Amino acid sequence: MSSPDTIEYELDTWRGRIYLLRIRGTPSYFDPDDFAVTVYYKDAATETHIEIARVDTAHDFTHFDRLFRNPPDKKPVEWDIWDAVDHFEENWPTYAKRYEENRT
């Protein structure tokens, strides 16, 4: 199996946290067989990545892991990798706010 292509970039800062978008595609994010697009921030205290939302193809279907919910859930979606990127670039502040309301 090929190793995945991964790119990662900063979205913006919200309430003192820098949020990032990670895009992973196997074998390539240009034409992936499998993919994951994740919004997360780096927790300064623990130096861990805290994922707040993800779209991926795990579990044999494309789904939106709504990690900002309490409890988190999975919603089937008919998105490709770039649909997920567009969605998160536009909506990540809403998910950051919801995560904070539900998890902290």
Give the model confidence (pLDDT) of 51-69 as tens digits: 999 999 998 899 999 999 9
Overall number of domains in the chain: 1
From CA 87, how far away is CA 62, in angstroms rounded? 14
* Residue-number span of the structural domain to which 55 is assigned: 5-103
pLDDT at position 4 is 76
- The residue written with tokens 């979205």 in the block is 11
Confidence of residue 31 (pLDDT cuts 50, 70, 90): confident
Least confident interval from 8-12, 19-23, 69-73, 75-79: 69-73
pLDDT at position 104 is 61
Burial of 4 (0-12, 13-18, 19+ CB in 10 A): middle
Parallel/antiparallel/unpaired status of strands 73-76 and 48-56: unpaired
- pTM of the entire structure? 0.91
